[in-house]
Structure 1
Amino acid sequence: MRPALRCTAGVAAVLLATPTIAQQSPQPPLPPLTPADGRASASEAGDAIPEEADAASSTSLGDVVVTARRRQERLQDVPLSVTAFTPEKLADARIVNRTELANFTPSLISITGGYPGEFAFFALRGQGPAFGSVPGVINYFAEVPALVGIDGRVGTFYDLANVQVLAGPQGTLFGKNATGGNILFEPARPTNRQEGYVQLEYGNLRDVRAEFAANLPIVADKVLLRVAGEVGRRDGYTKDVGPYFRGKDYDNLSYQSIRASLTLRPIEGVELYTVARYHHSDNNGPGTVLQQLDPSLGAPAAPAALLLPGFGGALAEQQALGPRRVAYDIDEFARTDYWQVINHATVALNDALTLKNVASYSELTYRYAYDYDATPLSISGQTSAVGAPTQAPTYFTEELQLQGRLWRDAVNFSVGGYYDRSGLRRDQGLYVIQYPLTAAVGPVRAIVDNRSRSHAVFGQATVDLGKAGLLPGLSLTGGLRHTWDETSTFTQIFVLPATSGTGKFDYTSYNASLDYAFADGVHAYVTARDAFKAGGVNGPVPVGSPFRTFPPEKLEDVEIGVKSQLRIAGVPTRFNVAAYRGIYTDIQRTTQEAIGGTILNVTRTAARGRIQGVEVTAGIEPLRGLALNGSYSHTDARYTEVSDATAGAILAGAAFPYTPKDKVTLGAAYRTDLGGAGTIALSANWAYQSRFSTAQNNLARVAYLPAYDTLSARAGLQGIAGSNLDFTLFMANATNNTFATGLQDLYNVGGGTVTYTYGEPRTYGAQLRFHW
């Protein structure tokens, strides 16, 4: 290959290896909450859940209502591994971003390396982001898959009814197939009460945030409006001390978000629920830190050690600075504009049948500049400060469901169809800096255009054999879904010819489960199911090559579990355990293949694997007002077979990505009434995560990120002197641990560097909340 083409190919390799431009094309009225929180109870937000006396009544282990099977059920009744966070739990653990949500969820991690932190991805049970395909974990907002969404970022956790994490393959009921699981963000819906709250926060790093919600029943039971929002500003905790941008701070916050929800009930049995939201952020970008630098970068043709002044001492200088001070040569920034409209139209055809349509449309415009090498040297990076935005996708979804009950509620079923389409509002791309090519020709322009369509038909039913008069306590569930996917790509980098291609795939997913209640509050289940991660196309590969397209991944698993909530010696307890084993086939990985006399990076079927593990959650209230809780997850994942010698060369013996073997959480909360003075509320939450790999193969220079732990605490007085005023002190990462949450490893793929993304230092402050 000629030198110019070799350099250009190096740019392409770095570009394709970097998740930032890989277009990762990547609910439901919930827990009963008190009017003081300004949120809807389950009965006001949708189908009523009877308030029955049970083991949890009048305790802090009360029922949480979830929608893991697209209908309202108590968390303890769902035969699946589900972790649910009420607004109180989100506040107690100081969960305000993706990393913190992952810290307190079994088997879930957040991937934050190689791009601005707010653009992170989730991985669950070893299933995470993958270049050229949809992610293994899908976010949902108000029952809509948010492949171009912003949920989980700072500034999106306000006025939520709850957050649910569904672990394991989700292939039959939800809009998109997900091999790892779904994360459901459910906003609080309008209620029939005049209520709301205003919350102000001030903390270190000049953290200033304001949050509000106002619920307005314009016409009782007919026209209900809710408006909520959040705005925040905070200084960054990583400072630039270099020659170009001295004094600039990274990892800062500057955002505003607003949401309006309207419920209309024009006639009996008809409800129109519409949500519109807008999110804007404009930050200084991430403070990633250089960890390793290849001394032979560019050799022998253009050795950086000779041609870049200061190259030889760059790594030592960064090590002397530590993890909170850096020096960059690219003016970093990250700017997001996102809006979405969602409509739920529900018609009760009769007492047993309901027709529901869920439609949505969203647009994202995302620009950023990022210094890959994290040095004051012009080695590698990207920017969209001029020209097209880095990303400008649009996303439309449409889902029609018929839900019903038969035979005196012995059968619950849902059938329907789903369609989505992702496109572009305008051209998207970026300018790439990559040594040594750009040292001669300047930043290289890249244009990236990815589009997709998907449609599916599905059906699922649960039969309660007890209600049918056959076997009391036994329920059976079965579901099928057939999906058709189409994806297309277009890429042009510098002077290389444009590449494009289209791939079409279809597949059938299934779900079958058995659930048996041994006694009130105790039941066991077994579930067998599968799900797929969509296939794709390698644009640069000629038509007719076996590597032109790559098929969908498949994960098929069996999960068994026990859920219990009861009193032991009069003490309320909750104990849930789930064990699973999954067979992972057609695993998509990137390899180098000789095609038409040229070495190309291609995504392809490369291996088979096995993922198995156990998840345990428990809670106890030993004293009235004192609640103790904890969780533990263990994940064992490995490759069991590689496709051929090419795949084996980079995968044999490689660590399986996104799978910390062990995660532990411990929490305690205490509430006591002080009479006229108010109610004391105290809480502390600790999370530990063992080391894990983000490497897709053995080409990675760094195999694992180190283990870490984090502690949060809150202390507050609620209802001060009988008023509607609450005051709270909070602290996150109380021990001020310095830990890496992600990395970008370009050492062996043309970039020559390894950089770390670090978690937040200790943060603390105070909140004042007024509710009515």
Structure 2
Amino acid sequence: MKRQLWATASALVMMHAAPAMAQVSGETAEAATDPSGTDPDAFADVVVTARRREENLQDVPVAVTAFTPAVLVQKAITDRTSLADNTPSLFTINGGYPREFAFFALRGQGPAFGSTPGVINYFAEVPNTTSIDGRVGTYYDLANVQVVSGPQGTLFGKNATGGNILFEPAKPRNAFEGYVRAEYGNYNNARIEGALNLPVVPDKVLLRVAGEVGRRDGYTIDVGPNFAGKDYDNLAYQSVRLGLTLRPADGIESYTVARYYNSDTNGGGTVLGAVNPAGAALIGLFYPTIGSQLADQQGRGPRRVSYDLNQRSLTDYWQVVNQTSIDLGDTLKLRNIASYSEFRSKYTYDYDATPLPLAGQVSRGIPVLAPNTFTEELQLQGTAANRAINFSIGGYLDRQTWSGPAGIQEFTLFPVGTLIPPVPFFQVLKNRSEAVFGQATVDLGVLTPALRGLSLTGGLRYTWEHSFTATTLIAPPAVEGTFDDDYLSYTATIDYDVSSGIHVYLTSRDAYKSGGVNGPVPEGSAFRVFPAERLSDIEAGLKAQFDVGTMKGRLNVAAYRGNYDNIQRTTAEQVSGVVLNVTRSAAKGRVQGVEINAALIPFTGLTLNGSYSYIDARYTEVADASAGAILNGAPFPYTPEHKFSVGGTYEAPLGRAGDLTLSANYVRQTEVSTAQTNQSFYRELPGYGLLNASVGLNNVGGRPLSITAFGTNLTNVAKPVGVIDLYAAGPSVVGLTYTEPRMYGIRVGYRFGN
């Protein structure tokens, strides 16, 4: 998936628990799926599934950030960028493709040209690499969102060097209930979402249907001459989910969730940010107005643009997931998780952000991306030795096939499109992986009272991967390549309950990012294939929950250091007498940092929270001279050095009028690089800060009705948050993606049923 997107742009040339309010235990957890309400107790038990079983967040020795639906609304988390803004060490990569295709990076681990992602998204416990989850229109009717930081190489379906992001849908309940929520705001922003829960046969057949529809005008406008008045960065999506739980007999449960997502927009509003004078001199022989394009853009500002391509971004996606569990007595459970999905994306995109045909792509009637994915995971979970041992063993496999033809019908990258016609570019990607795994936690305190509070965890996973790539440029034959790899991952953890409310841990683990094949490179070359990346780290954490007089507090701190081997980068190499851009193992590096989260309830009704992360990342060794030529002095990408958020919520009863809720949140990060090498012109995206706030009434008139006025980016910050750097390439330009402007509106929610 990522290989295709990056090839499109480059072919031819803490432990953070904040807001520490995730899924809470019991009925409160299920009621929290109503986004109109607020959490009744910020320090209620928080249940996460970071180790594939339900555990209290304050006890689990894993770095997790978790959000309930209510907190997602309060913090205005509606897309990938806003999720990253509110999660320390998480960064979202924009630019060079439609905005909804932004990628995640966590603790410096993200995508790279020709390689797999370092952060894997999960929906209903199924890994999903198709860039669906986290985009606008996918945050409705969720039980929670969890960001699990650090290498994940044992229990989860796919290896991830940076971490996992878990999107857990609300499951059917044994109650008639539901909610509906609508909002309207500036830019004609109109959205409606809701859910209906039906116990068709109480305790036996439970049904839940949910969906969301959204429309919003774009905030970036084309001034012409080609598409005057067309708006970009608009929204037009619809999504629906159906969940069905069957309990045919005691100890047997089958949960199936099916979903469909569709989005059809005008694409992102990339803004011209720089022009290379040297390249412009040549371009000017064909397009004399190139010299005035940058000045014209700067005069218009970042919300007015001029394109030569009629942009469009269309996504169709559907998926079916089944989770079946069978109790094999009091101490064993067999679980099976299977899924199938199809993803289709078509888009036309103007990379150069000018009215000149310098860089862009057109997919027309065929999709650019067309993967079909099947996954299967079998787990045996259980306890032993009077529940002193908690274990999970199993196997995992996935298969990704490609529905063709798929690719770009017309690809332009000056002088292609000027001296020769735009070229077609087609690609087939097929991948498969298999793994076996086992992990166990031993509570030594159950076995020996003298060791009360001390636990040990160990896990191993062996993974086999196979990938196939076939690339057709202009005309057949296709250039094909295959790559096979296998590796062993481990986890080892010691954690200790120092006292009531104070928990410490130390963990060591590793994970891999798959290697691959450079298709155009002939067999026998040293650059034909590139090995997997490996990140091994050590993390120490403290989780504390305490009372100071009448105040309640929570403090979570984590410090980590990771050694990063076989870092994949793209270098120019002599291959059979020809210089080719190849992905290769280019360097080693070190990534270390600290993540802090704090929350405080000074008095009933007021909750204050804040978080901070610091990342220090650098290359420690380059493989050879050609690697050094592009990496020496290069910034380490995706690692904002400092990032923090501060916020608070105040709730007060107003009698029959309802319950007043005031909420504000400010987030800020320092400058950050997305450059993979030192050859990039636009080396750093600037730092920025955003302020969001809302004021609302819940339980209006004693009824389950809520009314809220909200505002995002209240100071109307306009800063670049993404970049496509073609400065040194033929087009000689840099395109920038900007923050969304100030938005405001009203939302109304209503709950019904039990």
Same fold (TM over 0.5): yes
User: Helix, strand or coil for the counterpart of 1:314?
Assistant: helix
Work out whether residues 423 and 451 of structure 1, in 8 Å CA contact, stay in contact via their aligned partners in 2: yes
Q: Which digits, 9 at most, give the CA deviation of each residue in 1:341-396, with x for residues without a partner?
A: 0000100011100000000000011000110100000111001123x211111111
Work out which of the residue numbers 308, 313, 332 in structure 1 matches 2:287.
308
1:391 aligns with 2:382: no
Work out which of the residue numbers 64, 67, 71 in structure 2 matches 1:85.
67
Q: Distance in 2 between matches of 1:737 and 1:607?
A: 37
Letter in 2 for 1:308: Y
- In structure 1, what is the equivalent of residue 683 of structure 2? 703
Work out which of the residue numbers 408, 418, 431 in structure 1 matches 2:396.
418
Q: Which digits, 9 at most, give the CA deviation of each residue in 1:559-617, with x for residues without a partner?
A: 00100112122311000000000000000000000000111010000000000000000
- In structure 2, what is the equivalent of residue 7 of structure 1? none
Q: Distance in 1 between matches of 2:10 and 2:592?
A: 27
1:657 aligns with 2:648: no
Q: Distance in 1 between matches of 2:89 and 2:167?
A: 18
Letter in 2 for 1:557: D
Letter in 2 for 1:206: N
The 1:730–1:33 alpha-carbon spacing in structure 2 relative to 1, beyond 3 Å, is farther
Work out which of the residue numbers 591, 594, 597 in structure 1 matches 2:577.
597
Q: Distance in 2 between matches of 1:393 and 1:268?
A: 38
The 1:711–1:370 alpha-carbon spacing in structure 2 relative to 1, beyond 3 Å, is same
User: Helix, strand or coil for the counterpart of 1:88?
Assistant: helix
Work out whether residues 347 and 356 of structure 1, in 8 Å CA contact, stay in contact via their aligned partners in 2: yes
Q: Distance in 2 between matches of 1:634 and 1:482?
A: 32
- In structure 2, what is the equivalent of residue 365 of structure 1? 344
Work out which of the residue numbers 464, 467, 489 in structure 1 matches 2:443.
464
Q: Distance in 2 between matches of 1:341 and 1:749?
A: 42
Q: Which digits, 9 at most, give the CA deviation of each residue in 1:607-653, with x for residues without a partner?
A: 00000000000100001010000000000000000000000000011
Work out which of the residue numbers 66, 75, 85 in structure 2 matches 1:103.
85
- In structure 2, what is the equivalent of residue 258 of structure 1? 240
The unaligned stretches of length 5 or more in structure 1 are 1-11, 23-28, 42-56
Q: Distance in 2 between matches of 1:326 and 1:405?
A: 61
1:485 aligns with 2:465: yes
User: Helix, strand or coil for the counterpart of 1:91?
Assistant: helix
- In structure 1, what is the equivalent of residue 141 of structure 2? 159
Matches within 5 A, 1:296-695: 296-297=278-279, 303-386=282-365, 388-430=366-408, 431-470=410-449, 471-495=451-475, 498-695=478-675
1:18 aligns with 2:9: yes
The unaligned stretches of length 5 or more in structure 2 are 14-21
Q: Distance in 2 between matches of 1:733 and 1:298?
A: 36
Q: Distance in 2 between matches of 1:713 and 1:455?
A: 46
User: Helix, strand or coil for the counterpart of 1:676?
Assistant: helix
Could you tell which deviates more after superposition, 289-298 or 203-212?
Answer: 289-298
User: Helix, strand or coil for the counterpart of 2:289?
Assistant: coil
Q: Which digits, 9 at most, give the CA deviation of each residue in 1:531-563, with x for residues without a partner?
A: 000000000000011110000000000000100
1:238 aligns with 2:220: yes
Could you tell which deviates more after superposition, 662-671 or 439-448?
Answer: 439-448
- In structure 2, what is the equivalent of residue 45 of structure 1? none
Report the CA distance between 1:34 and its aligned residue. 6.2
Q: Distance in 2 between matches of 1:175 and 1:740?
A: 35
- In structure 1, what is the equivalent of residue 105 of structure 2? 123
Report the CA distance between 1:690 and its aligned residue. 0.5
- In structure 1, what is the equivalent of residue 24 of structure 2? 31
Q: Distance in 1 between matches of 2:585 and 2:219?
A: 41
Work out whether residues 296 and 305 of structure 1, in 8 Å CA contact, stay in contact via their aligned partners in 2: no
Q: Distance in 2 between matches of 1:263 and 1:340?
A: 17
Q: Distance in 1 between matches of 2:67 and 2:516?
A: 35
User: Helix, strand or coil for the counterpart of 2:417?
Assistant: helix
- In structure 2, what is the equivalent of residue 48 of structure 1? none
Q: Distance in 2 between matches of 1:404 and 1:614?
A: 34
Work out whether residues 238 and 287 of structure 1, in 8 Å CA contact, stay in contact via their aligned partners in 2: yes
- In structure 2, what is the equivalent of residue 289 of structure 1? 271
Q: Distance in 2 between matches of 1:496 and 1:13?
A: 18
Work out whether residues 30 and 72 of structure 1, in 8 Å CA contact, stay in contact via their aligned partners in 2: no
Work out whether residues 715 and 729 of structure 1, in 8 Å CA contact, stay in contact via their aligned partners in 2: yes
Q: Distance in 2 between matches of 1:135 and 1:21?
A: 23
Report the CA distance between 1:750 and its aligned residue. 3.1
Count of residue pairs brought into register by the alignment: 736
Work out whether residues 587 and 608 of structure 1, in 8 Å CA contact, stay in contact via their aligned partners in 2: yes
Work out whether residues 195 and 215 of structure 1, in 8 Å CA contact, stay in contact via their aligned partners in 2: yes
RMSD: 1.9
TM-score (norm 2): 0.95
Matches within 5 A, 1:136-147: 136-147=118-129
1:737 aligns with 2:728: no
User: Helix, strand or coil for the counterpart of 2:279?
Assistant: coil
Work out whether residues 716 and 726 of structure 1, in 8 Å CA contact, stay in contact via their aligned partners in 2: yes
- In structure 1, what is the equivalent of residue 258 of structure 2? 276
Q: Which digits, 9 at most, give the CA deviation of each residue in 1:80-101, with x for residues without a partner?
A: 1111011111011010000000
Q: Distance in 2 between matches of 1:518 and 1:490?
A: 56
- In structure 2, what is the equivalent of residue 227 of structure 1? 209
1:728 aligns with 2:705: no
Report the CA distance between 1:311 and its aligned residue. 1.3
Work out whether residues 715 and 728 of structure 1, in 8 Å CA contact, stay in contact via their aligned partners in 2: yes
Report the CA distance between 1:497 and its aligned residue. 5.2
The 1:678–1:14 alpha-carbon spacing in structure 2 relative to 1, beyond 3 Å, is closer
The 1:567–1:95 alpha-carbon spacing in structure 2 relative to 1, beyond 3 Å, is same
The 1:547–1:457 alpha-carbon spacing in structure 2 relative to 1, beyond 3 Å, is same
Work out whether residues 36 and 771 of structure 1, in 8 Å CA contact, stay in contact via their aligned partners in 2: no
Q: Which digits, 9 at most, give the CA deviation of each residue in 1:389-446, with x for residues without a partner?
A: 1111111100000000111111100000000011112321002012223224322100
Letter in 1 for 2:297: Q
Matches within 5 A, 1:759-770: 759-770=739-750
The 1:733–1:37 alpha-carbon spacing in structure 2 relative to 1, beyond 3 Å, is farther
Q: Distance in 1 between matches of 2:736 and 2:26?
A: 40
The 1:408–1:76 alpha-carbon spacing in structure 2 relative to 1, beyond 3 Å, is same
Q: Distance in 2 between matches of 1:309 and 1:425?
A: 42
Q: Distance in 1 between matches of 2:392 and 2:111?
A: 30
TM-score (norm 1): 0.93
Work out whether residues 20 and 115 of structure 1, in 8 Å CA contact, stay in contact via their aligned partners in 2: no
Q: Distance in 2 between matches of 1:732 and 1:529?
A: 39
- In structure 2, what is the equivalent of residue 54 of structure 1? none
Work out whether residues 23 and 32 of structure 2, in 8 Å CA contact, stay in contact via their aligned partners in 1: no
Letter in 2 for 1:31: V
User: Helix, strand or coil for the counterpart of 1:467?
Assistant: helix
